[in-house]
Structure 1
């Protein structure tokens, strides 16, 4: 018996920071996926597979009233196109896909809030698990606010060579810096909501750009201001970042420009040297 499920990754976040006194985020979900297959086998494989997926499998079985021992002969296979260590929700996608595959394997149903609660108990979790853009308290899971679907957007992913150990990064407490910028993030959230309500990509892009600039006080990105200026000149609607990662995204509405034009101008200005890969994704929600 086996079961397969998948979860998308992200190109960082559209916004992240304090909202009404709690740190929240809205992931920039893209068409990169982690696919997890669980298969019952005849041999013992308690330690097999990624550690976080194994933990998610165990927690899932316990949630469904089964024992941890019932997972010992279940093999985990992860097939992911999401780069790791860049702030692209690779761990969240692995965990969430494992939880969903676990439910399928045992013939149970589980809703998004239950998946979120389980995932947050393992590590801070991106909002890619939800079916639309969602404001999410990624640390405790206490806030889940569906926002709706973004207007059609592409994102030019600027993926650097460098990775970031997210858990180690979170050992430093940046809450005071983030709390200081709460008004800016709440304004960005208002712009994002208006952009979604009116399907105005310019407002969505402006919200993301504000949040990316605010985050420079927490985690700087090389030449971010120059990238923002260049992207705007090329007709992009905005720039977003991984707030606890290294990736940068250029948000593109094809009504205004196209990815090749943006990429050409960035290259001409010498702004792509820091990045190992530059490629196009679609914003999924």
Structure 2
């Protein structure tokens, strides 16, 4: 029906609460526990009378749409794509994966097809190493194999204050560097992951935040953040439960158990401004 719009939406991340090997060993798998954030990518398709225009989200989302159509033997009807995103590219917010998932969700709705997670997995696998933003809960996820190792539920959430340092990180380009680092520090990562999973199992946000801080600290020796040491040194002053980072990105920030009062937001903003950055606030996780 001409003029009818269907949409797909997918949240992004504020980096990870954990990124490291699944277990210590000479051939580590890269495991992540992504940190979902209340920021999103939107994709819309409005039926019309003209042939469908190009998807305005770049090559990966366009490839996802093509693979979807090929899988189901479908042809896009006449119409117009549009899109919007809160997620910055290349800083650790899973923007490209969110774009792909939002595109696929839009297409499932456009063709009135039931959502099929296996189709999403298959298309992501064909395009890129991905985050678990297609889930509505935390998960321990093998990003290269596109396999959910363990679902961790949706009981834990944090309020965050974070900044984005300059630059972008090409995840593919640093994979070998990360794997070498994980081999050297496998046992430390294994203890960190064990503590993180115990925190999720017991519903203890403070334990999860402590383990996230350990994971972020381990990351400093391979992909350091310029502001991380300052954040860590002032964590107690601001009453934060922990520090998180985008391990292969440019984000770093604090994890708080509850909503931030206006005075605390002002203090945090002054602190981050003294480091040369604008502070942002967002709800992370679920709970």
State the TM-score bracket (shorter-chain normalisation). 0.7 to 0.9
* Structure 1 Cα separation of the partners of residues 208 and 163 of structure 2: 19
TM-score by length of 2: 0.87
1:190 aligns with 2:194: yes
Cα shift readout 1:217-243 (whole Å, capped 9, x = no counterpart): 221101312211212332101011001
Find the aligned partners of 2:131 and 2:11 in 1 and give their Cα distance.
10
CA distance in structure 2 between the partners assigned to 1:265 and 1:142 by the alignment: 37
CA distance in 2 between counterparts of 1:65 and 1:144 reads 31
Q: TM-score, length-normalised on structure 1?
A: 0.87
Equivalent-residue separation in structure 2 for 1:263 and 1:182 (angstroms): 39
Question: Which residue of structure 1 lines up, in the alignment, with residue 139 of structure 2?
Answer: 134
Contact residue 268 and residue 279 of structure 2 kept, 8 A? no
Question: Structure 2: how far apart are the matches of 1:272 and 1:140?
Answer: 41
In the aligned structure 1, how far is the partner of 2:148 from the partner of 2:285? Answer: 21
Q: Distance in 1 between matches of 2:250 and 2:242?
A: 17
Give the number of equivalent residue pairs: 278
Q: 2:234 aligns with which of 230, 239, 242?
A: 230
RMSD across aligned C-alpha pairs, in angstroms? 2.5
1:3 Cα deviation (Å)?
1.8
Select which of 46, 54, 78 maps to 1:39: 46
5+ unaligned residues in a row in structure 1: which ranges? none
Match of 1:273 in 2: 275
For residues 165-244 of structure 1, what are the structure 2 equivalents within 5 Å? 165-167=169-171, 169-170=173-174, 173-244=177-248
- The one-character-per-residue Cα deviations of 1:83-112 (angstroms, maximum 9, x if unpaired) are 222111111111110011111111112333
Relative to structure 1, the CA distance from residue 35 to residue 141 in structure 2 (aligned partners, 3 Å threshold; closer, same or farther) is same
Q: State the match for 1:87 in structure 2.
A: 92
Cα distance in 1 between the residues matched to 2:183 and 2:263:
38
> Is 2:269–2:279's contact at 8 Å kept on the other side of the alignment?
no
Say if 2:66 is the partner of 1:58: yes
- Residues 111-168 of structure 1, C-alpha deviations (whole Å, 9 max, x = no match): 33432332232112111221110111111213442111243311112122x1314256
SS at match of 1:129: coil
Deviation at 1:265, TM superposition (A): 5.6
